[in-house]
Chains A and B, each alone.
Chain A
Amino acid sequence: MPRDNSIKKVLVIGSGPIVIGQAAEFDYAGTQACRSLKEEGIEVVLVNSNPATIMTDKDIADMVYIEPLTVKVVEQIILKERPDSVLPTLGGQAALNLAMELEESGFLKENNVRLIGTTSLTIKKAEDRLEFKNTMEKLGEPIAPSIVVENVEDGIGFANKIGYPIVLRPAYTLGGSGGGIAHNEEELVDILSNGLRLSRVGQVLVERCIAGWKEIEYEVMRDSNGNCITVCNMENIDPVGVHTGDSIVVAPSQTLSDKEYQMLRTSALKIIDELNITGGCNVQYALHPTSFEYCVIEVNPRVSRSSALASKATGYPIAKVAAKIALGYTLDEIKNAITGKTYASFEPALDYCVVKIPRLPFDKFIMAKRTLTTQMKATGEVMSICTNFEGALMKAIRSLEQHVDSLFYENYGELKTEEIEEMLHRVDDRRIFVIAEALRRGISYETIHDITKIDMWFIDKIAIITEMEKRLKEEPLTKELLLEAKRIEFPDKIIGKLTGKTEKEIKELRNEYGIRAAFKMVDTCAAEFEATTPYYYSCFNSENEAEETTPKKKVLVLGSGPIRIGQGIEFDYCSVHSTWAFKQEGYETIIVNNNPETVSTDFDIADKLYFEPLTPEDVENIVEFEKPDGAVVQFGGQTAIKLTEALMKMGVKILGTSAEDVDAAEDRELFDEILEECCIPRPQGKTVFTTEEALAAAHELGYPVLVRPSYVLGGQGMQIAISDEEIVEFMKVINRVEQEHPILVDKYLVGTECEVDAVCDGEDILIPGIMEHIERAGIHSGDSISVYPAQNFSEKIIRVLEDYTRKLARSLHVKGLINIQFIVADGEVYVIEVNPRSSRTVPYISKVTGIPIVELATKVIIGNTIKGLGYTPGLQPNAEHVAIKMPVFSFEKLRGADISLGPEMKSTGECLGIGKTFNEALYKAFLGAGVNLPKYKQVIMTVKNADKLEAVEVGRRFEKLGYKIYATRSTARVLNENGVHAIKVNKLDQESPTILDLILEHKIDLVIDTPTNGRDKTRDGFLIRRHAIETGVTCLTSLDTANALLTSLETEDGTDLSLIDIATIDRK
């Protein structure tokens, strides 16, 4: 069936801010789909509140609205743009839910807009627990015995009937939010009541626990003619019980015979057919490990994280094909973009093995519970490809960038065997390392399997790795042994460690023996057809098939690896835009990255894609083959920057700012010299290595001080210390990981923080705008609300900021991007941090100013000038609108994590509020972040002593808005003394009703809890904040944020919001 020509203008709904469970995969899917639609001449209108994405670029869609994803806003966009169709299957659960609301209210019908890609009936059948159950029963597809409950009592009743443990899954939530496994009634009550609150429709599925079964997924596609294919199946190494997003996953399945494989495949196709899906769909199964019994766990009638993974694992572009299907094409009419000859109606055949490992945020949230459950906790993931499983696993582990390049983990070697055996019972992100250690100790496969339920096949593969460790330690390093170690992807560094040689010696030995990495192609068809798409992975003991190079100049673009807190999707945005700019300038582009969720690893972004770990050795393999004319590291975040030195040693020219200058910005002494030369003040500080030095520095500077390691991301490990005790504690935490660089101790200044991103061509600078932070210094810039243009600075301050930026950029010989953070305190401007590279705010500032700074920076790097590119140097005039970047957190997913904000970044994503006025922008920013007030007009306040007087004004403003204020004793006293009526509530250790009871009654809009300085150690504050988050109550930990929220509540009621199409912003 050819394209449906009545579809001319399509509204694509994005997935909004990055949160755990809904991440970059939707930027990848959305971008691919929008490009696919535009290819067909469709006019694309895009709405997504996330400014860090590539999909919200004017290159990707015709009209781009970075607006809150609420029904009201989307309705207004539809009325303004009048699309004929809405495509809701590319923006994850957020978009699907939104589309359902628009459809159910009758709005779409009234306005002659139809849903394409799926129908509301399909969504309902797949997503509504009861409908889903009925559909499966009708098909005869087994599901675990279950009921949908709307109250706790029914849940208890059912559990008593079928027995514990019991799995709980709330309906319509992200990443299994609020779900879990209950082993007894107490746990059941706890999880179930929480799940009921979090579910959009107040429903939770209570079902038989199938934990320990094999978890298998199928990615299937179907067109309007009923043609169905499976793109890929995947097997979770972690059995059912761990969310698939937190599991180590292998593709294709490894332990299923054809009988099992086909049984589940047939089932998946039956389901997609019954649901009448047109597009992509993900079906998850639990397969009994010792019989053919299986259960359908879940069906996602849309593209998903798994479909992104399946796309990258196979080369089959699911989102692109799904978009074409939505337009009416059938699978046999859509060309396979990889081969260019075959069609989308075939099933990829893999001739390699793919391993995905989640990136969990426990390095950021050291207090959070590391246990993995059915609620997803990972912020990102890495994927690796190899011709064998062991190799793929080893590559994936080093791709994680968690200081572990093998299966050796921290101090496990020193633990007693009994402790290791005990640790096997813990289901957390370290389990794979525990298994390896258990195998080293000779604990039997059976024991490990009995405890973990992980299939023996995988245990044996891990054993092959630990056996190799032993051989390397004990046997002479022959050519055969070295080749075998490389075949299963032991890095030279680890081989060196085990054999008592240096990395360099191993490398030389490899050269002598001719043991070199070869590159193989991902071609969807196991070499059956010739492929034209240069998508490669490396392996050893193989013939190289990477294409010979073209005579063009060649640039290596290093990606940013897995999405983690502090290094998110924004760096992928930068990598992709830089690649495009190099292409425009006639370069051959090569991307190296290992993140399957991103746009940069889509095979048609660069001329060549190497899906590889970002370690010196892996990159060197590529460099030796490609011999690039240069590499660009400034767009790939810290991951790429970290490779600078290694690249230079390989003889690769670093394009843009030199490594020495990058160092100068990070090295305290060098940097101080530069500041002195430029006469730029900075908060006083020292560099230290030991705790003693840190204490001495703190005493000299006077508390409070900021303590942090250098060369880190997102303020990792950064703390504000107010006492010796805290210094001791923080230094201990920082030094848990061996520090190659000194630790910085700085005087902490209270003032207004602001930052700039600028392009420098060595002479001139271009600053698109100044971004002012709402929260005062001390809260990480990534967690602060950021306002463009700055609202509160005098012309004089602004000129100083511009001047300092120019001086610093020049002194550091910046070629390309630079990000500088300032504090303005008492009319003085201080520099707090300089990063001569792209930053988190680059996509945001580019979009709201209409100045494509990555493109400009890239062009400057290869010799253009700012003037030559048609821009007037200096700070650009302010735009006519105000744009506010609002951080978004995923605290509800991380049990036990402290939500209070500080110098260490905690947000996972961001959204934008753009408006004609500051207040409107602020209102939209809060709305986009999910803060939708008022509901009950009740607020709880509990603030630290230092904030008490300031809190009075906050209280007064809430009172004026008609809010009822509850406060803990001393806060209540201060409020009441100052004429703000506050009701005193008991603290947790006092008698009921306490503040916690109040929160649990669900009549509270907001909790304002400012933690005491430094680390909050009182359990009270922590518990209050956790409970607020877990019951879905907005919780603010800074009075600055509270004041901003008040401003938005006082002035906006959400009617008549202006809509700004950012594609029309062009201010060249």
Chain B
Amino acid sequence: MKAFLILEDGTVFTGESIGSTREVISEIVFNTSMTGYLEVLTDPSYAGQAVVMTYPLIGNYGICHADEESGKPWPSGYIVRELSRLPSNFRSEDTIQNFLKEHDIPGIAGIDTRALTKILREKGTMNGCITTNENYDLDDIIARTKKYTCAGVVKKVTCSEKQILKGDGYKVALLDYGAKRNIARSLNKRGCEVTIYPAFTTAEEIIASNPDGIMLSNGPGDPAECVEIIEEIKKLYNTDIPIFAICLGHQLMALATGAKTHKMKYGHRGANHPVKDLETNKVYISSQNHGYVVDEESLDENVAVKGFVNVNDGTIEGLKYVNKNIFTVQFHPEACAGPKDSDFLFDRFIKMMEDNK
């Protein structure tokens, strides 16, 4: 079946429908990872967005459920050049075609994803519509597409109940704003007992549980929209509990301490982003997925200083909070998909909890 991708600027791509055939309007973003399509699909940070994979051959190794980073795929749409007809890998349990259908994710294949990526790079992230209706009304779709905003997504992706991963080490409270599984797993692997809390848990409840450390997770959407959460984080900031935050968590902590965030032209999404540790001048290749970034100008150096910067565009990739046991990163040390180069940051967090005892 034919499918169409219509961008809010009126560009139309014609391809084949994949997954669900229902129509969807969404923000369109691109990801440059060459492997890890399943991890990308199940990353809750993509909630409210349709993802374009720039690597043209997707689905080659099928679906291995153990690699999922959450319970289900989150993107509202999926855009690829080609889906593999025959997946081949010893762990493959299913095809990506079935997976998308099962989870009712609409998508389009067979389009020039590079041409699309170039549009998004040049004009910036924009909204689009995927439809299988051959008689679509272009003006109507453009009008509806322009109106779309990606809002209230944290509420959608966070867990509904607290969950505990047993461990005999430090007790870590993980606030789930759309956490990828490997964050909890990385801590648990290091012996931590991880308690995963819904995003809207009050600071009081967290503090009352007396954790050794608090982990603020990644998540989708505009961080500035999360006003309630930011209020709670302010309270957490004021405790002495060590805090480590990733991605959305990093942005929320910055907002909670007076800094600002802004939307980037087309964000960082991929597995090849170089970040530099300003303390050691060492560069690590990181996995990234963010469309917002902390404003450098808004930073009060008495509150937080830069810990990591992006080598390519110089944007803030990590903050260290002055006189606080708090450090945050914009990128994903938990990888999945992507390189594990910055995995040591979890050790740094453990060390911080140890020193704080």
Contacts of A254 in B (CB 8 A): 57, 60
Query: Which residues of chain A from 213 to 265 have a CB within 8 Å of any chain B CB?
Result: 225-230, 252-259, 261-262, 265
A529 in the interface, Cβ–Cβ < 8 Å?
yes
Contact B90 A289 (CB under 8 A): yes
Q: Which residue of A lies closest to B84 (CB)?
A: A457
A684 in the interface, Cβ–Cβ < 8 Å?
no
B283 in the interface, Cβ–Cβ < 8 Å?
yes
Residues 291-315 of A, flagged 1 when their CB comes within 8 A of B and 0 if not, give 1000000000000000000000000
Known: A332-B276, A347-B271. A257 touches B67 (CB 8 A): yes
Counting contact residues on chain A (CB < 8 A from B), the size range is 35 or more
Chain A interface mostly helix, strand, loop or mixed?
A: loop
Contact B312 A542 (CB under 8 A): no
Contact B272 A351 (CB under 8 A): no
Contact A456 B32 (CB under 8 A): no
Contact B35 A226 (CB under 8 A): no
Contact B339 A262 (CB under 8 A): yes
Picked from A269, A351, A455, the residue with its CB within 8 Å of the CB of B114 is A351
B274 in the interface, Cβ–Cβ < 8 Å?
yes
Contact B55 A261 (CB under 8 A): no
Known: A257-B91, A343-B311, A346-B312. A526 touches B283 (CB 8 A): no
Contact B88 A545 (CB under 8 A): no
Complex CA gap A526/B269 in Å reads: 12
B56 in the interface, Cβ–Cβ < 8 Å?
yes
Contact A225 B115 (CB under 8 A): no
Complex CA gap A330/B277 in Å reads: 14
Contact B117 A345 (CB under 8 A): no
Contact A388 B57 (CB under 8 A): yes
Picked from A255, A352, A520, A530, the residue with its CB within 8 Å of the CB of B89 is A255
Complex CA gap A455/B340 in Å reads: 27
Instruction: Select the residue from B86, B271, B273 with max chain A CB neighbours within 10 A.
Output: B86
B320 in the interface, Cβ–Cβ < 8 Å?
no
Complex CA gap A252/B57 in Å reads: 10
Contact B117 A526 (CB under 8 A): yes
Contact A227 B283 (CB under 8 A): yes
Q: Which residue of A lies closest to B39 (CB)?
A: A258
Known: A349-B32, A542-B112. A456 touches B81 (CB 8 A): no
Contact B121 A529 (CB under 8 A): yes
A525 in the interface, Cβ–Cβ < 8 Å?
yes
Complex CA gap A289/B92 in Å reads: 12
Contact B61 A257 (CB under 8 A): yes
Contacts of B60 in A (CB 8 A): 254-255, 457
Contact A259 B114 (CB under 8 A): no
Contact A460 B54 (CB under 8 A): no
Complex CA gap A258/B39 in Å reads: 8
Instruction: Select the residue from A254, A266, A526 with max chain B CB neighbours within 10 A.
Output: A526
Complex CA gap A229/B283 in Å reads: 9
Q: Which residue of B lies closest to A263 (CB)?
A: B340
Contact B85 A291 (CB under 8 A): no
Residues 60-78 of B, flagged 1 when their CB comes within 8 A of A and 0 if not, give 1100100100000000000
Contacts of B283 in A (CB 8 A): 225, 227, 330-332, 345
B282 in the interface, Cβ–Cβ < 8 Å?
yes
In the complex, what's the smallest C-beta–C-beta distance from B52 to chain A, in angstroms? 10
Complex CA gap A226/B281 in Å reads: 10
Query: Which residues of chain A from 278 to 294 have a CB within 8 Å of any chain B CB?
Result: 289-291
Contact A464 B281 (CB under 8 A): no
In the complex, what's the smallest C-beta–C-beta distance from A823 to chain B, in angstroms? 56
In the complex, what's the smallest C-beta–C-beta distance from A862 to chain B, in angstroms? 36
A787 in the interface, Cβ–Cβ < 8 Å?
no
Complex CA gap A527/B339 in Å reads: 20
Contacts of A229 in B (CB 8 A): 274, 285
B36 in the interface, Cβ–Cβ < 8 Å?
yes
A380 in the interface, Cβ–Cβ < 8 Å?
no
Residues 112-127 of B, flagged 1 when their CB comes within 8 A of A and 0 if not, give 1111011001000000
Picked from B112, B311, B338, the residue with its CB within 8 Å of the CB of A345 is B311
Contact A460 B270 (CB under 8 A): no
Contact A351 B335 (CB under 8 A): no
Query: Which residues of chain B from 261 to 282 have a CB within 8 Å of any chain A CB?
Result: 270-274, 276, 281-282
Contacts of A457 in B (CB 8 A): 60-61, 84, 86-88
A528 in the interface, Cβ–Cβ < 8 Å?
yes
Contact A351 B61 (CB under 8 A): no
Contact A258 B338 (CB under 8 A): yes
Contacts of A341 in B (CB 8 A): 312
Known: A266-B340, A289-B90. A350 touches B55 (CB 8 A): yes
Contacts of B276 in A (CB 8 A): 332
A180 in the interface, Cβ–Cβ < 8 Å?
no
Complex CA gap A92/B209 in Å reads: 61
Contacts of A289 in B (CB 8 A): 90
B82 in the interface, Cβ–Cβ < 8 Å?
yes
A541 in the interface, Cβ–Cβ < 8 Å?
yes
Instruction: Select the residue from B39, B61, B91, B110 with max chain A CB neighbours within 10 A.
Output: B61
A466 in the interface, Cβ–Cβ < 8 Å?
no
B34 in the interface, Cβ–Cβ < 8 Å?
yes
Q: Which residue of A lies closest to B64 (CB)?
A: A257
B28 in the interface, Cβ–Cβ < 8 Å?
no
A342 in the interface, Cβ–Cβ < 8 Å?
yes
Q: Which residue of B lies closest to A543 (CB)?
A: B115
Complex CA gap A528/B34 in Å reads: 13
A348 in the interface, Cβ–Cβ < 8 Å?
yes
Contact B285 A347 (CB under 8 A): yes
B295 in the interface, Cβ–Cβ < 8 Å?
no
Picked from B88, B113, B115, B270, the residue with its CB within 8 Å of the CB of A528 is B270
Complex CA gap A265/B335 in Å reads: 13
Q: Which residue of B lies closest to A458 (CB)?
A: B88
Q: Which residue of A lies closest to B337 (CB)?
A: A258
A926 in the interface, Cβ–Cβ < 8 Å?
no
Contact A291 B90 (CB under 8 A): yes
B336 in the interface, Cβ–Cβ < 8 Å?
yes
Contacts of A228 in B (CB 8 A): 341
Contacts of B90 in A (CB 8 A): 289-291
Contact A541 B54 (CB under 8 A): no
Query: Which residues of chain B from 229 to 281 have a CB within 8 Å of any chain A CB?
Result: 270-274, 276, 281
In the complex, what's the smallest C-beta–C-beta distance from B306 to chain A, in angstroms? 15
Complex CA gap A269/B282 in Å reads: 14
Contacts of A345 in B (CB 8 A): 274, 283, 285, 311
Complex CA gap A214/B341 in Å reads: 24
Contact A332 B35 (CB under 8 A): no
Contacts of A290 in B (CB 8 A): 90
Known: A254-B60, A525-B32. A351 touches B55 (CB 8 A): yes
Complex CA gap A226/B282 in Å reads: 7
In the complex, what's the smallest C-beta–C-beta distance from B248 to chain A, in angstroms? 21
Known: A227-B283, A346-B312. A258 touches B121 (CB 8 A): no
Complex CA gap A271/B27 in Å reads: 41
Complex CA gap A455/B62 in Å reads: 14
Contact B114 A526 (CB under 8 A): yes
Residues 528-566 of A, flagged 1 when their CB comes within 8 A of B and 0 if not, give 111000000000011101000000000000000000000
A748 in the interface, Cβ–Cβ < 8 Å?
no
Contacts of A230 in B (CB 8 A): 285
Complex CA gap A198/B10 in Å reads: 67
Contact B282 A353 (CB under 8 A): no
Contact B32 A526 (CB under 8 A): yes
A389 in the interface, Cβ–Cβ < 8 Å?
yes
A387 in the interface, Cβ–Cβ < 8 Å?
yes
Residues 440-457 of A, flagged 1 when their CB comes within 8 A of B and 0 if not, give 000000000000000111
Complex CA gap A520/B117 in Å reads: 13
Residues 333-357 of B, flagged 1 when their CB comes within 8 A of A and 0 if not, give 0011111110000000000000000
* Additional 7 contacts, C-beta under 8 A, given A258-B36, A258-B338: A256-B61, A257-B36, A257-B61, A332-B311, A388-B57, A526-B117, A545-B118
Q: List 15 A-B contacts (CB under 8 A).
A: A255-B60, A258-B33, A258-B35, A258-B338, A330-B283, A345-B283, A351-B32, A351-B117, A456-B88, A457-B61, A460-B85, A460-B86, A526-B32, A526-B117, A528-B270
The 10 closest A-B pairs by CB, nearest first: A258-B36, A457-B88, A347-B272, A526-B54, A460-B86, A290-B90, A349-B32, A258-B35, A543-B115, A527-B117
